[in-house]
Structure 1
């Protein structure tokens, strides 16, 4: 999966850098998965989110602070993934990243899919969390049912 991620970046020197800003274990796990092939920097405002990974640079601090974003590696990032506890905070951080660090490729995870339009002009991709979760739950349930039927 990650080799496709690396190929998606238009990057000529060194590995591409992805800034991940989030406050959940899901975001930390995604950052760890992506770090196998690209330079991932994780910024979180919650100590409990930080996973056990030697391959990710982690910064814990105020995710809405420009200096903290810079310390986390935003200035050298090629893309960003923002997934915070509230859509309001996700919008604010995505806007800060675009405005202050000129990052064009920003993916956001939102809780309310009706807010997609709010992210127009800020995020290049808006992913509704409920849809992703529903798709994965459906896949897992159908897989489990197939295994149960064949047993």
Structure 2
């Protein structure tokens, strides 16, 4: 199964997100991530949906999305032609003695420390999902206390 990304432009009205997610549920298709926010057009929202599945399923989901009321467009994004990023916050157990090593790793991954407590730090990571997953593997031995991730947001590259 391949990972696919769909960009949906829809009216910014109550119930639109519910109709979109309901469509996926009815088709038995699980969304790996969903990000929603204001778009470049007033009164419109952009949804970025990441899912696993066959190419045929991707085409079918785009066709079904386009039929929904308030959906203006639903277009698949090609992995090689898009820019995708995810934001992640990680609260990490960080005793003072371990901090220099942790901060060195954070610097190597171009992350930033956004909060420091007596026994923990919160770091902000922005990058592609694979990079974020790799950092998590390196941080696990220190003790991850909490993680929150936005899911992928994406767009096609410039011409």
Fold equivalence (TM over 0.5): no
**For the pair shown, which has the larger CA radius of gyration, 1 or 2?**
2
Task: Choose between structure 1 and 2: higher helix proportion.
Answer: 1
Task: Choose between structure 1 and 2: higher strand proportion.
Answer: 2
> What is the TM-score when the length of structure 2 is the normalising length?
0.30
Structure having greater relative contact order (Cα 8 Å, sep ≥ 6)? 2
> What is the TM-score when the length of structure 1 is the normalising length?
0.31
